[in-house]
Amino acid sequence: MTSGTGRATTSGTLITLAPTGAESAKADVPALPVTVDEVVATARDCEALGAAVVHLHVRDLDTRPTLDLVRVREVVAAVRESTDLVVQLSSGGAVTDPLPDRVAVLDAEPDAASLSLGTVNFGRDVFSNPWDLIVELHTQMRERGIVPEYEAFDLGHLATLSRLLDRHGPPHGGHVHVDLVMGVPGGMPGTTAALAACLPAIEPGWTFAATGVGRTSLPVMLAALSAGGHLRVGMEDTLTYAPDEPVRDNAQLVARAAGLARIAQRPALTTTEARELLGISAPQEASR
């Protein structure tokens, strides 16, 4: 099915859980899942509530963000063992991560990986995504059978996606899915107007999701649903559920997203439906 503008729409909503991120410290946010057991527990809870994809940033034994492949593989295996979620590793990492290490996470053989489409100010930092890195990640994912979730932090990043696909071909699986990451200080604002401005740049056949950082979570979610988009939620992006009310856990955010998706009459996609949409093959039997 396509919308009036040609964008692919589905009868359900793909909910991606981003449970941890690389920015918050466990000491500041005790509910943040950082151990393998905590990540697995939140993944299971959120799958039961409607999440179909998990976007993973891995932490080390000291709870700091890490791209250490032994640890990354351990987390990927543990989530696969306990859930049917599509396992999407972050190739964005933390703003301090060396670019080659961000490419190397693909060695952990996730189902999918994020692929950020341009350099953007990130608060006081810079999240660096030069063109050569974008091409390298896209090409390596194609060769290794990993499905990208493109991430756009600004309108121009969608033009970069069109240029990337024109020059380097479609992603593995053939389907293009892009996440609008809105409300990052330095990127596009998390507003209905900004989301609407992105829509003409989303090409026919692509699907999109949106996530609103911080207090933009709810307006972005409502705007995305109204435009036929999908949702990403989780404690990577949102730590406050309502004014003066800290998020209890990731399940609270997924439950809210799934509830709004139901109200929009586009209920949460199952993991099987998500795999079909994204062009990802079924999980390997051995794992469960």
Residue 103 binding ligand KMH, by CB under 6 A? no
Closest approach of Cβ 65 to ligand KMH, in Å? 8
Find, among 96, 28, 20, the residue nearest to 55 by Cα.
Answer: 20
First-residue to last-residue Cα distance in the chain? 34
Instruction: Give, in degrees to the nearest 5, the angle at Cα 166 between 105 and 121.
Output: 55
- Among 77, 78, 95, 99, the residue binding ligand KMH under the rule CB under 6 A is 95
Residue 92 binding ligand KMH, by CB under 6 A? yes
Q: Which is nearer to Zn ion, 101 or 276 (CB)?
A: 101
Q: Which stretch binds ligand KMH (CB under 6 A): 25-33, 114-122, 193-201, 239-247?
A: 114-122
Residues numbered 175 to 194 that lie near Zn ion (CB under 5 A) are none
What are the residue ranges of helices labelled H in 185-249?
192-198, 217-226
Residue 151 binding ligand KMH, by CB under 6 A? yes
State how far the Cα of 230 lies from the Cα of 114, in Å rounded to an integer. 15
State how far the Cα of 99 lies from the Cα of 101, in Å rounded to an integer. 5
Closest approach of Cβ 267 to Zn ion, in Å? 25
Which tokens go with 108? 């952990």
**Binding partner of residue 216 among ligand KMH, Zn ion, none, CB cut-off 5 to 8 Å per kind:** none
Residue 90 binding ligand KMH, by CB under 6 A? yes
Please classify residue 288 by burial: count the beta carbons closer than 10 Å to its beta carbon, then call 0-12 exposed, 13-18 middle and 19+ buried. exposed
Question: 126-135: which pairs have CB atoms within 8 A and are 24 or more residues apart?
Answer: 126/95, 127/92, 127/95, 127/153, 127/186, 128/95, 128/99, 129/92, 130/99, 131/160, 133/99, 133/102, 133/103, 134/160, 134/164, 135/164, 135/167, 135/168
Closest approach of Cβ 1 to ligand KMH, in Å? 28
Residue 112 binding ligand KMH, by CB under 6 A? no
Which tokens go with 152? 């756009």
- Among 66, 90, 217, 238, the residue binding Zn ion under the rule CB under 5 A is 90
Residue 122 binding ligand KMH, by CB under 6 A? yes
Find, among 2, 15, 37, 40, the residue nearest to 271 by Cα.
Answer: 15
Q: Which stretch binds ligand KMH (CB under 6 A): 86-94, 162-170, 241-249, 260-268?
A: 86-94
Closest approach of Cβ 48 to Zn ion, in Å? 22
Residue 179 binding ligand KMH, by CB under 6 A? no
Q: Which stretch binds Zn ion (CB under 5 A): 33-41, 90-98, 125-133, 181-189?
A: 90-98
Which residues contact ligand KMH by CB under 6 A?
21-23, 90-92, 94-95, 114, 116, 122, 127, 151
